[in-house]
Structure 1
Amino acid sequence: MVEDLDVQMVASRLQASIGLFVRRLRQPAPGELTLPEVSALTRLEQPGPATASALARAEQITPQAMGVTLAGLEERGLVERRRDPGDGRRVVMSATQAGLRALHDRRTARAEHLEKALTAGGFTAAELETLMAAAPLIERLSQSL
């Protein structure tokens, strides 16, 4: 029963376990896109091209930090800059096909990494079912934060 559970203890255990999970999942493999690069490319994927300052605002970081991230992505051919068709004084950034492919590849690699961990972790079928049942609950909890 919910009344019997210590909600503070549940919150504390979730914070610790999900925090560890997220930190481990975010660790990039050598040569893989970093988290800031993934964030920038994701924002350029949907809704599309944007200025560096708009991306910085959306990510709640400084324009200088976004500039460093975009410069690294541009150097590797993952984003490109173009004049804004509506205002030729502004520059908009957009993801290249190579950038979208790198983003897709990273997502696939993360899912495969997680799949290997589930397989190698010795999880039983019942435990996998429990994790599957917990996924929508964790998503709902995330939306409540």
Structure 2
Amino acid sequence: MTKERTVGPVEDAVGYVLKQAAVALHNAMDLELRPLHLTVSQYSCLELLGQRPGMSNAELARGAFVSRQSMSVVLRGLEERGLVSRPATAPRGRELPTVLTGAGRDRLLAASVAVHGVQQRMGAGMTPAQQRSLLEALAACVRNLAGG
């Protein structure tokens, strides 16, 4: 007869503590981005476009962990504010590749500096080796749950 194992105390459950960390990170980023008039999703979109210009709505949604519908709203708002631009018609298929404008690059730089500060605070007291180990462990968790 096998005895089923339970999660046990939530404070000792990796998933629970990971969620706490994710919420704390989101809240800290939100506080830093608010003076720049950006949400975390808007910042994520700008950061992705800064690193990979020309991404489509679907690619941005996957990269920012939001639905396509939510990303459409994010992109529309960023476009109205002059931070990104998209062609009126798709150069191929239905994808509208999005790029940062000059104002978008400027806003991204300020936001990226602010978010880097949050990441520095999050890793305070950890050595570079510990931070690298944490990153590797989290990447392994993602691979394990994604099935590969």
Equivalence map 1:119-130=2 (5 Å)? 130=125
**Could you tell me which residue of structure 2 aligns to residue 131 of structure 1?**
126
Q: Does 1:38 align with 2:43?
A: yes
**Could you tell me which residue of structure 1 aligns to residue 8 of structure 2?**
none
Q: Does 1:141 align with 2:137?
A: yes
What is the identity, as a one-letter code, of the residue corresponding to 1:131?
M
**Could you tell me which residue of structure 1 aligns to residue 74 of structure 2?**
69
Percent identity among equivalent residues?
25
Q: 1:42 to 1:140 in 2, by over 3 A?
A: same
Compare relative contact order (CA 8 Å, sep 6+) and give the higher one, 1 or 2: 2
Give secondary structure in 2 for the equivalent of 1:91. coil
| Separation of aligned partners in 2, 1:15 and 1:32 | 27
Stretches of structure 1 lacking an aligned partner (at least 5 in a row): 1-7, 119-127
TM-score normalised per structure 1: 0.65
Equivalence map 1:1-145=2 (5 Å)? 9=12, 11=14, 14-15=17-18, 18-19=21-22, 21-27=24-30, 28-82=33-87, 83-85=89-91, 87=92, 90-112=95-117, 130-133=125-128, 134-145=130-141
| Separation of aligned partners in 1, 2:52 and 2:19 | 33
Assess if the C-alpha contact under 8 Å between 2:47 and 2:112 holds in 1: no
Give secondary structure in 1 for the equivalent of 2:21. helix
Two-structure CA RMSD over aligned residues (Å) = 3.2
| Separation of aligned partners in 2, 1:52 and 1:111 | 25
Assess if the C-alpha contact under 8 Å between 2:53 and 2:99 holds in 1: yes
Q: Which protein is bigger by CA-based radius of gyration?
A: 1
Give secondary structure in 2 for the equivalent of 1:131. coil
User: Which has the larger displacement, 25-34 or 92-101?
Assistant: 25-34
Aligned length: 126
| Separation of aligned partners in 2, 1:137 and 1:93 | 34
| Bigger proportion of residues as strand | 1
TM-score normalised per structure 2: 0.64
Stretches of structure 2 lacking an aligned partner (at least 5 in a row): 1-10, 142-148
Instruction: State the 1:17 CA deviation.
Output: 5.8
